[in-house]
Every structure is written in C-alpha cells, then in structure tokens.
Amino acid sequence: MTTAPLTMRAALAAALTEAVDADPALVTLGADGQALFQGVMARHPRRYVDVGIAEANLVGVAAGLARSGMRPVAAAMAPFLVRRAYEQLRLDVCVPALPVVFLGVGGGLGYGHLGPTHHATDDITLMSALPHMSVHCPADAADAVSVLRTLLPADGPAYVRLSARADPVLPAEASHGDPRTPRLLRAGDDVLLLATGRCVAEALAAADALADDGVDAAVASVTALHPFPREAVRALARDRALVVTAAESLGPGGLGDRTALTLGREGPPLVRLETDHRHPPVASHEDLLHFYGVDGRGIRSAVLGQLTRNTRKA
C-alpha cells in the first residue's frame, strides 16, 4: 500500500506538541502562521506566541525568551524570515549563540507559482554565513521530524528548511539514524548522486532512469549542510568515477560548494547542479526544478554528458 505524502508542517506539528509536552522550557513562536502549532495551542496555549507579520520581532522575542532560560522554536515563511530579519538573526541570536531553532517554511522553490518574492533559494547560503548557526535541509516529512528530534533541546542556533507542500515519500532509510550524517539510499558503483532536500527524490528518479542507460548510480541524502559531514562525504565518494550534487539552492555555501571543498583536487570529478540568478517563470515547484536543471531529467542528463566527456578524454 502506497503511503500518502505528508507535509513537513503536518508531521512537525505532532512532533512539536510532543516536545512541548515533555519539556517545560520549550516555547513556540510564529509570525501569523499557526499550522505548525495547532497542537501546542490546544494543549499549552501559554506556550505559543504569535508576533504577527513581523519577522524581526519574531527573532527578537525568541532571543529574549532564550536569554530568560526558555528554549524557543520559531517559525515563519523562509523568504521573509531569512531576508527581513537577517540583522536580528545575526546580532540577537547567532553572535551570542542562543539556543533558538528556526523553521523556515517554503525554503527553496517550494512556493512555486507565487514567484520570486516567495522563493528562497538563497536561504542556505545566508544562514550558513551566520556565526554558530547549524543548517539542515530535510528530504521529506519523516526526515524533518528526525531533524527536530535531534536538535531538541537546542544547544545553539539552528535553521531547518521546510518545504511548503507535500513531498514525495522517500524510503525509510532517508530518515533513519543521525540526520547529521549522510544516508545512503541506493547502492551503485559508477556514479554517486549527492542530493539534499526535495532534490533527493529527483536523484532517486534519475538513478532509476540511469539504470536503463546502463549506469549504476548510488544515491545519498545529505540533510546537514552546516556543519558539513566532510569525512562521511569523502568516504561515500571514494572510488567513484563521478560525483554529482543536486540542490535547489544557490551555489555559495551550498551542497555543491561544500562537497567541492571536501573532495578537493584529489577527489573524483564533480558536477554541481544548483540554482542561479536567472529570473524564473511563474510555474509549479516541479517545473521550477526543471527550469534550473535540478530535477530528475537534469540530473540524468548531467551524468550522461559528463560520462561521455570522460570517455572521450580517455
């Protein structure tokens, strides 16, 4: 029986309620968005604070609560949390390394048709640049729950990118074990596909298509982007003829950038698939992934193209 897709917000709503039940210091905050906190509001109404559409205030209030001994979890739409409140994120929370977990809803291209004002392909880059901030990009709803449970109780600032809509359901291995280390979802000897977030499902689709092309592709999901699991990625890439990274985020500080620094010149050839600054069309999430070349078709094409070039050089 096929499992119905579940949004990250729906999955985390239950996990957050359980966390608030268990930890009297945990308090939740939102910026005019309550979907994540329905259970908390029903069972612990005094443990939820809504600041309205005011992301800078959201961060400032969370910082004040953290300084008073509470453990805040704050959520807002990713494009506005990251851009409107960046100064507060840096100075109020990250410089003093306060234990605040931020949930950015609709990171990457998740808001699709709402256009570039609501896209946040820069969130990974920006949040990774903040001092003491850890950055996580779950691959599906179950992975998002595993990240939250690993982070709580928080011991420093953390950012978790959440998708806006239901994602494809991934194999159970995508959410098993410590999310701070890559998970190998598919074995393969020829090529390693490293993906994060929504692109993990695309990498698995590409691997299926590549099998028909005679290419044996391994797929690994990388949820923790900062700090980056360098030793684990080196081990996965060892003895591979090619590594391809796929992420719906800008290059600096992203999966491809960190993989390149990790593997260095002595590593296998690396192809980085990521978004750029082209103005996108008004389109669905899936069509936007295709526009930037980070969907299953784009990944397959990049692998076949690079393997052809490698064969010609040989």
Domain boundaries, the chain: 8-162, 180-313
Q: Can you read off the two tokens belonging to residue 84?
A: 């409107």
C-alpha dist (Å) from residue 134 to 227, 242, 306: 6, 28, 33
φ, ψ at 194 (rounded to 5°): -100, 125
Between CA 252 and CA 186 the distance in angstroms is 27
Question: How far apart, in whole angstroms, are the C-alpha atoms of residue 113 and residue 44?
Answer: 35
CA 160 vs CA 5, 36, 82, 134, 238: distances in Å: 19, 13, 11, 8, 29
Burial class (CB in 10 A: 0-12, 13-18, 19+), 187: exposed
Q: Side chain identity at 211, as an amino acid letter?
A: A
pLDDT at 1 (0 to 100): 43
Same fold, 8-162 and 180-313: yes
CATH of domain 180-313: 3.40.50.920
End-to-end CA distance of the chain: 47
Task: Per residue of the chain (314 residues), give pLDDT as tens.
Answer: 445 678 999 999 999 999 999 999 999 999 998 999 999 999 999 999 999 999 999 999 999 999 999 999 999 999 999 999 999 999 999 999 999 999 999 999 999 999 999 999 999 999 999 999 999 999 999 999 999 999 999 999 999 999 999 999 999 999 999 999 999 999 999 999 999 999 999 999 999 999 999 999 999 999 999 999 999 999 999 989 999 999 999 999 999 999 999 999 889 999 999 999 999 999 999 999 999 999 999 999 999 999 888 766 65
Output Rg (C-alpha) for the chain, integer angstroms. Answer: 19
Beta strands in the chain (DSSP E): 26-30, 48-50, 71-77, 101-105, 134-136, 158-162, 183-186, 191-195, 217-221, 224-226, 242-246, 270-273
Dihedral, CA atoms, 110, 116, 117, 118, nearest 10 degrees?
0
| pTM exceeds 0.85 | yes
Residue 85 sits at the vertex; the CA angle it makes with 80 and 88, to the nearest 5 degrees, is 165
Q: How far is CA 121 from CA 29, 126, 209, 259, 270, in A?
A: 24, 10, 26, 18, 21
- Classify domain 8-162 at the CATH topology level: Rossmann fold (3.40.50)
Residue 226 has φ and ψ, to the nearest 5°, of -155, 120
